[in-house]
Structure 1
């Protein structure tokens, strides 16, 4: 009779299974199980580790997110400088580099090049050292810094799912890696994650990030690992070092070893024997930048042979055996012909520059954002000016400066920001301290259109088929409505091209087949598919409905927290500002915005209509105790047994609230080893300080 596996054996088997599925999902993009099945395995492991805390190891999949750095990030010297690359911008410069490479090697040598996409992210060095059971474990993650010294961002690097926390003996052997090694690679923020992040920032009243590269760099230096984990960064490896030196015979073998040992390597690489082969790779790579889902800005070419790399050596700042071919810049100079003003779903009026068409990054650009009235004043831009336009990071093209020289004379027509809404004629308002002017008319046709598009978005109610053209037809508007002069009358009223089929979000759920069949290019199949999508969206749940309603400052995360806390729309709309502030991560500003939203009769009517039409306005309420109700905690330092997340989870489960900063409103500061300035501030303010034992005692009530 077989003996039952020990707890240690069960835990190790679960860890192996999770690492295998994380590798399939985050590295190979080929998952074998559903998210629910993965969560079930992870929850089983968490439960077993909680029952046997002495068996928890730093490389366990449950330990990806830990406490945040004490005070900023420590500076650490690199094992070998992280140098930049020389650049080539055309075929002539690339061929000249090829000649220099061949001249630096014996005439009898055959040269091979490895071509890789130049990812537009930030460089990272990952150091691995011997761990338990013959594995190599992630010891440190360093940013490039100044090339000689980087910042230790290990806590945040651990949250990147494509970074292995440990490499097994089996993989080390297969990849011919030593127990101590270093991986260098590029951290990128996928465009989908970037767009989602910006949607949340805008919903919370924050300015959107400029591009994925800046967002990735800012994310990796965030002092909150939970935020880093939510951003879904990726890392692609491209170098292997041992004691600061490359050690495999060729770069192509290095890439193979990285893949074998479980690291993500960009699939778009090729080994070629001539500079013509390099140029062919570049020609095929440039069009990819619009379809990859992450940013690239060129191609990196490296001599394949490690021995040849050593012979060629380095200049003062770059290797002679590698070069970066940079794609044409996503910027161009063109003339500003006019400025139109668009109205968003929150009423925000955005000036949009109408440009003489110009090709930027393979796309013809005819529009660019001018952001707001203050930005127009800062640029000093006029209609008729020649302007430099940038397009990068899959964000809306923007004007970065006015170009003035003999070939580019200045324009003469001032840009006048409107005093009334360009669509409905309502007076525009600007809240003190804000830069945006807004139309406050909730019935403004432009706002209704943008509200419908937001409601149908994939991240909200996910109604496929309800895009710009369909929404325009349903509202009886022209496709060019909202921001183009031909779409409105002299008085600013919208020009209807047909009788509206709907007027509000609720009317979507009243649509009938015959309503849609009367629209252009809508047949029975299209009508039935759209109605099916609309009907399916009724079950999206309370969190999605809250996001769809467009309550100011309520993004995806806040919507989920509100839904879990209140459990129903009825309970939420009856909540006071004080009750709302009791929800984690909901401060006075957000609470006030929610109260103001539910004070508007039109908003309440819309919610009532949606509920009567069958939309699910409930959520599974998170069961929260009352032991710590009304108390606010701040965590600092390293606790003996609990991770920061575990302590936070226990406090919130008992009805308490966890804050990131100490103030007079803080009830307790829970301090562990190496507690920083938060402990000093707590003592200065007279806030009570607890250790882990004190917290656990308090949790018992």
Structure 2
């Protein structure tokens, strides 16, 4: 129970450094001493990690922390999960569990110039009622990874951290709570008084961005180099890898930070909905609660003011202690956000302005040809190292043979390299002037696969050359990595180094580039023990222990992960098989429609195209996949080895068969997703745009341009009540 300040007539404000430390402790009970120390330590963490204005020395902090540890050791019954001593705990026993988000963590549409930003603002204005003027909140677009924190009610009116979940695929993320607890800018405990002062309930959700500060990134790379490892590529990748590390003590050493930017309702009714009336109030409340909120934020009215903020942000970009790649602009009013709604993938009320790609000039020293999972052969430029936007770039994509011809690039040329979207390096042009001589060696695109020697083919109408050998080691390697990915079968431990060893290739150390021959093929050292995805499920402990740097613990963990993956389900198996054009959404629809892999294999083109969102191209790709004997044998083998390839078949009605609906505006009782689900369950389709082929437009409050277009085309317009009546 917090004690009152000796120099104040009122109870202490949360994290008040004048409280506790000056209190005589001889008459305090153990629980009072412990609580006093906790409040002091929380205050210091807030000052140090959030305000960046510590009032204690490290020695003072260590002394109080050690005293708290001693008292908690003497009274273990008083230890609580939100104590400052409990930040670093044990690692998860079986990796990170999957957790569904309270509402999807959507990506944002992008704008790359002022015209695109003004066009977005016009769409926003058009979606609001006449006379409404939106305000905009401008925030820096931090270059990290998104995270959702859930706080629940504590026993004394406080809020305590329950969980931290990564964005994942936007719908389902990974529970990385054990690692989030080590982030010092994330409070484990928010006092009852602070909640009362801010006017917040005990339970709520916070969303934000986890970043690795530049200083911590440089220190981490110094340590990696000292250990004989290659430096990490950039702070974002390092942060993403750190948050998914299974050792919380390592995460604690990396000094991640989390900047909060969304405040949502907690578990229960309306979970995931905005908690306050506008975004600017949410940022203020988050800051008042003791969370780290970026100070570079501003509420404005006009797009000219937004553009001025963007110019200022770009001006300070290189002086910031963390990476940013743009500015996020949000409509401030939550009521207006609701009226504007969402597209299929992004909110209409927010947009990300991306800074121009960073570029530099360097020399093209050579070209490798990589073979992908589908057999596509991609030319990769080998560059003299160049530092662009916080990353040392040594490789860049040349896309395909047509792109090489378009650029007219030769080995030895000076080339301009961009990090497109600040992510993927690419060559944009050849630099030829008095300071940069042209190269003389032509780039010869191979006629045969650089890995297996099979003659390459190019389908009519396509630009890519492909290796058609399904057993090509390079294709198998990519298939294994794809199969093991988080969003597919989620096999922890089956990364690039492990896959290389399973295939008999020379394994690189963590962070090193893969060793390849002059033609770009992996160096083979020994006989492979895996030749296909199915062979993963035949691996033995003895085989794994025979590999380099693989001990009993690692071998057992990998075998456990592989065994667990057998229950991933039909939809994930379909994604894992790598059928062209079949992504997560299509795989889910196929699994719900057919229920078994056998039914999908036997389905005709017409059967497949009867599935919502499956068109002729996707249906033909599925039929093509199952026409190849090796693929059929793989599916059979997986089934025999215990991989579950069934799903609960969703009964699809026929009431709306052949009908296409478009949803617009806010419906009285149904959300967009609920309405879409009801329509699709009745056999109908939901489209995002109105055309002459649209059967009905379902219009709610504040319906926009879609309603106008429906009226122009003579498409029937109905309300929610009529839709429910039609659904029966």
Query: Quick one: distance in 1 between partners of 2:429 and 2:536?
Result: 43
Query: Quick one: distance in 2 between partners of 1:539 and 1:411?
Result: 54
Instruction: Identify if the C-alpha distance between structure 1 residues 73 and 235 changes in structure 2 by more than 3 Å, giving closer, same or farther.
Output: farther
Query: Quick one: distance in 2 between partners of 1:655 and 1:262?
Result: 50
Q: How does 1:261-272 map to 2 (within 5 A)?
A: 265-266=293-294
Cα deviation code 1:153-211 (max 9, x no counterpart): xxxxxxxxxxxxxxxxx99983599xxxxxxxx998999xxxxxxxxxxxxxxxxxxxx
- 2:560 aligns to what? 532
- 1:449 aligns to what? 477
CA contact (8 A) 2:601 2:626 kept: yes
- Which of 584, 591, 597 aligns to 2:625? It is 597
Q: How does 1:527-676 map to 2 (within 5 A)?
A: 527-637=555-665, 639=667, 642-663=670-691, 666-671=694-699
Cα deviation code 1:230-288 (max 9, x no counterpart): xxxx97389xxxxxxx99xxxxxx9765522799714999xxxxxxxxxxx999964x5
How far off is 1:637 after superposition? 4.8
Q: How does 1:32-43 map to 2 (within 5 A)?
A: none
Cα deviation code 1:16-70 (max 9, x no counterpart): xxxxxxxxxxxxxx9xxx999998xx7xxxxxxxxxxxxxxxxxx99x99xxx99
Instruction: Identify if the C-alpha distance between structure 1 residues 643 and 465 changes in structure 2 by more than 3 Å, giving closer, same or farther.
Output: closer
How far off is 1:545 after superposition? 0.8
- 2:403 aligns to what? 375
CA contact (8 A) 1:634 1:659 kept: yes
- Which of 162, 174, 182 aligns to 2:197? It is 174
How far off is 1:617 after superposition? 0.7
Count of residue correspondences: 457
Query: Quick one: distance in 1 between partners of 2:591 and 2:635?
Result: 15
Query: Quick one: distance in 1 between partners of 2:603 and 2:644?
Result: 19
Cα deviation code 1:291-321 (max 9, x no counterpart): xxxx4589xxxxxxxxxxxxxxxxxxxxxxx
Instruction: Identify if the C-alpha distance between structure 1 residues 397 and 614 changes in structure 2 by more than 3 Å, giving closer, same or farther.
Output: same
Name the SS of the counterpart of 2:402 in structure 1: helix
- 1:398 aligns to what? 426
CA contact (8 A) 1:582 1:630 kept: no
Query: Quick one: distance in 2 between partners of 1:539 and 1:332?
Result: 47
- 1:94 aligns to what? none
How far off is 1:684 after superposition? 7.4
CA contact (8 A) 1:568 1:619 kept: yes
- Which of 433, 438, 441 aligns to 1:413? It is 441
Query: Quick one: distance in 1 between partners of 2:616 and 2:711?
Result: 25
Give the structure-2-normalised TM-score.
Answer: 0.53
Instruction: Identify if the C-alpha distance between structure 1 residues 37 and 118 changes in structure 2 by more than 3 Å, giving closer, same or farther.
Output: closer
CA contact (8 A) 1:372 1:436 kept: yes
Query: Quick one: distance in 2 between partners of 1:601 and 1:482?
Result: 35
CA contact (8 A) 1:671 1:692 kept: yes
Query: Quick one: distance in 2 between partners of 1:640 and 1:80?
Result: 26
CA contact (8 A) 2:367 2:443 kept: yes
Name the SS of the counterpart of 1:428 in structure 2: coil
Query: Quick one: distance in 2 between partners of 1:525 and 1:37?
Result: 26
Query: Quick one: distance in 2 between partners of 1:328 and 1:440?
Result: 38
Instruction: Identify if the C-alpha distance between structure 1 residues 78 and 427 changes in structure 2 by more than 3 Å, giving closer, same or farther.
Output: farther
Query: Quick one: distance in 2 between partners of 1:557 and 1:339?
Result: 36
Name the SS of the counterpart of 2:394 in structure 1: strand
Instruction: Identify if the C-alpha distance between structure 1 residues 565 and 175 changes in structure 2 by more than 3 Å, giving closer, same or farther.
Output: same
- C-alpha RMSD of the superposition: 4.9
2:498 is equivalent to residue 470 of structure 1: yes
Name the SS of the counterpart of 1:527 in structure 2: helix
CA contact (8 A) 2:593 2:649 kept: yes
2:528 is equivalent to residue 500 of structure 1: yes
- 1:19 aligns to what? none
Query: Quick one: distance in 2 between partners of 1:397 and 1:449?
Result: 23
CA contact (8 A) 2:516 2:522 kept: no
Instruction: Identify if the C-alpha distance between structure 1 residues 475 and 485 changes in structure 2 by more than 3 Å, giving closer, same or farther.
Output: closer
How far off is 1:344 after superposition? 0.5
Query: Quick one: distance in 2 between partners of 1:406 and 1:651?
Result: 65
CA contact (8 A) 1:70 1:637 kept: no
- 1:73 aligns to what? 124
2:268 is equivalent to residue 236 of structure 1: no
Query: Quick one: distance in 2 between partners of 1:486 and 1:81?
Result: 54
2:375 is equivalent to residue 347 of structure 1: yes
How far off is 1:530 after superposition? 1.5
- 2:415 aligns to what? 387
How far off is 1:615 after superposition? 0.6
CA contact (8 A) 1:237 1:265 kept: no
Name the SS of the counterpart of 2:566 in structure 1: helix
Cα deviation code 1:403-448 (max 9, x no counterpart): 2332221212222222332222333333444433222222222111
How far off is 1:644 after superposition? 3.3
Give the structure-1-normalised TM-score.
Answer: 0.55
CA contact (8 A) 1:446 1:482 kept: no
Query: Quick one: distance in 2 between partners of 1:255 and 1:685?
Result: 44
How far off is 1:79 after superposition? 8.3
Structure 1 alignment gaps of length 5 or more? 1-29, 43-60, 85-116, 122-169, 178-185, 192-211, 213-233, 239-245, 248-253, 270-280, 290-294, 299-326
Query: Quick one: distance in 2 between partners of 1:522 and 1:651?
Result: 52
2:724 is equivalent to residue 696 of structure 1: yes
Name the SS of the counterpart of 1:476 in structure 2: coil
